[in-house]
Homo-oligomer: A and B are copies of this chain.
Amino acid sequence: MSVAGGPKWRRRKEARPGEIVAAAFAVFAEKGFAAARLDEIAARAGVSKGALYLYFETKEELFHAVVRDAVAPNVAQVRAAAEAFEGPFADLVRALLPMMAARIAGSGAAKVVKMVIGESRNFPALAQHWHDEVVAPTLSVLSGLIERAQARGEVRPGDPRVHAFSLVGPLMLGVLWREVLEPVGGAPVDLQALAAQHVETALGGLLAREGAAA
């Protein structure tokens, strides 16, 4: 409706891909892969459906691009923070969990998680990418930290991977709760409060007791 002779569209080869991925992210997060409509993605990106195919071969490739872009930076940062830390295990955990909570809640990572879970059967390649690039590295950093803390006698014995689950499981549950149940009437969850209280609970179970025998 631009009556005042502005051009109908502009050539912006550089900017398009990013805008398209952003729009696709929003629609995929809202609807899931199968129910997302290319027309809607195109509309939100301010572009025609045909233009999508100038930059992405198929809907599925677009899906992959979305997951890549939305997630990579956060993982790297959490990893760096964890590996740079030098103090006692308890302090590290007290810093790390709230950081993860904030990062997951802040970015759209939670929506991506939901998306990956929902479409994992239909797009195993996506779930695999997610596992290889996000979950496995994070878990490996975490259980490495736990293992070293065990060697120093700070943390009780036990499978370090299971200990890692004990640490982050409740956080993940909280994230999914917010994403899935709150919109349909579930009682709100304060992720920061959850992280704070759970860290103390988990540490109570993980740390070797000072006055204890074993």
Contacts and interface: CB of A to CB of B under 8 A. Distances in A.
Nearest to A163: B201
Contact of A127 (B34, B170, B184, B200): B184
A137 interface: no
Contacts of A136: 186
Given A170-B166, A180-B116, A32 B34 contact: yes
Interface string A114-148: 11111111101001100110011000000000000
A173 B180 contact: no
A71 interface: no
Does more than half of chain A's interface fall in helix, strand or loop, or is it mixed? helix
A130 to B, nearest CB: 8
Nearest to A159: B197
A214 interface: no
B32 A122 contact: yes
Given A114-B120, A121-B31, A166-B170, A205 B200 contact: yes
Given A121-B30, A131-B186, A202-B205, A169 B173 contact: yes
Contact of A131 (B121, B184, B200): B184
B35 A180 contact: no
A206 interface: yes
Contacts of A174: 165, 169
A180 B127 contact: yes
Contacts of A183: 120-121, 124, 127
B120 A180 contact: yes
